[in-house]
Structures are given as C-alpha cells and as structure tokens.
Homo-oligomer: A and B are copies of this chain.
Amino acid sequence: MSNTQHLTIGSPKPVFPDDGILKLYSMRFCPYAHRVHLVLDAKKIPYHAIYINLRDKPEWFSLVSSSTKVPALELVKEQGNPVLIESLIICDYLDEKYPEVPLYPKDLLKKAQEKILIERFGQFINAFYYLLLHDNPEQLVDTDHYAGLVVYEEELKRRCTKFFGGDSPGMLDYMMWPWCERFDSLKYTFEQKFELSPERFPTLIKWRDLMIQDRAVKCFYLDGQTHAKYMNSRRSGQADYNMLYNEAKRVKLG
C-alpha cells in the first residue's frame, strides 16, 4: 500500500527528486480526485500522489495551488510549475496531452455526447451524496435515489458493449466509476433497501463487475466496507483521512 498519510498543518512540504514526474495533490477518499487517479493509471502515466488533509491543510498548499482544492495536478516539467484544478478539466487535458490510450471517441459528435453524459452524471452525484451524508436516511426510504442512473442503464444496454467506451473503459466509464465503486458501501451503512436493484439495473451491475477487473480501477480500488467506514467518520464530523495509513502502520507494527 502506498503512503496515504494526509499532510496537514505543520507537515513539511514533501521533497521529490527532480524527475519531471507529475504531482497529484489528492485526498484518498475524494471521488473527484479518484477520477484523476483512474485516468493517470489507465494511461500508465507515472505520478507522485500527495495526500492533503482537507480540514487542516498544510500551510504551503495555498502556495502550490491558490484554490487549495483537490484534485490539483502540478505540471513540474512546464515553466513555473503550473497547477491544473477541476477533475474534468484535468482529465481532458491528460487525454489530449497523452493520446496513446485515447479515452474519448475520435468522432467529435460522439465525444460531445460522452461529455453530455458525464455532465449529466453530476445530477446523480448530488442525489447520491444527499443520501450518503443524510443524518437520518430512514426518512429517505421512499425517495428514488437511483432515478438518475436509468439513462445510463438504458444507454449501455443500447450500446451492447462491455463498457461505455467499448471493449475497454473510456472517459465516461472512468468519470462515473468513483461513485459506482461506493454503491457497495451502502449495505454496510444502511439497510439493504438502499442497494442497487438487480431487476432495475442488470446492465450496470454487470458493468460494475467488469470494471472491478480493470487494471486502472484495481490500482486505486477500495472495498465497500472501507468506503462505508470513511463515510461514517465523515458523517460524524471527523473525517478520518488517515484511516488506511494508520491501519497499515498498525499491521506493520503488530
């Protein structure tokens, strides 16, 4: 397991060799940062991951990126070490800059249609996080949290391909994945009634099983129980950023 210690107030700025390798400022449980990890891993682009405690950010972080948001990608080879923010802008940049494993269709219309589906997924994200972070999810048992997924179920069925990208995952697959990886956490937090219905989403459930086998997805994968544990800490107001780091340390010491 890589070092997922989250740097915080007082943490010194990590020093890296002058190796020209991209630096990704991230948070281990941030689904937006997860998107960038997926694209970097899918394209086999080497990068240094630097994890930031988002509650108590290290003092030097605002000098790296004035927005102090993650994900933030530092382009160390470019003059002035510019930093890109916004997950979709970073991912689109990477796709154009490293075209060897193209993630969008070549056809401009199809590319625009993928972007519309990525944009529209944002509506589902809002509904899903409303459920994940709700104080009393029992109140939401009659709400259809998955209504926003129906269009993706139908679209993938219509395409008759393993992934939205065809035989391998494309940009739409990777931009949706971080939230879909977290579906499996619901059974640990809430009762089964919040789970994805196999009758309603047979194609997406098959897709999820295939995505878990993907090399890039495996690189940053966490199981449902781990995601549930982090979300519980976040809901309690004490997001446990260093959960994995402390566990790994315990295992090492024990």
Query: Which residues of A from 18 to 69 have beta carbons under 8 Å from B?
Result: none
| A86 in complex: contacting residue of B82, B84, B92, B119, CB < 8 Å | B119
With A86-B119, A119-B86: A93-B75 Cβ-Cβ less than 8 Å: no
| A85 in complex: contacting residue of B82, B84, B116, CB < 8 Å | B116
**Does A108 sit within 8 A of B, measured CB to CB?**
yes
Measured CB to CB, the nearest residue on chain B to A112 is B93
B108 and A93 contact, CB distance less than 8 A = yes
Secondary structure class of chain A's binding surface, majority of residues: helix
**Does A109 sit within 8 A of B, measured CB to CB?**
yes
| A93 in complex: contacting residue of B85, B96, B109, CB < 8 Å | B109
**Does A101 sit within 8 A of B, measured CB to CB?**
no
With A89-B119, A115-B89: A82-B108 Cβ-Cβ less than 8 Å: no
**Does A249 sit within 8 A of B, measured CB to CB?**
no
**CA of A109 to CA of B111 in the docked complex: distance in angstroms?**
20
- Contact mask A78-111 → B, CB, 8 Å, 1/0? 1000101110011011001100000000001101
CB distance from A69 to the nearest CB of B (A): 11
Q: Which residues of A contact B (CB under 8 A)?
A: 75, 78, 82, 84-86, 89-90, 92-93, 96-97, 108-109, 111-113, 115-116, 119
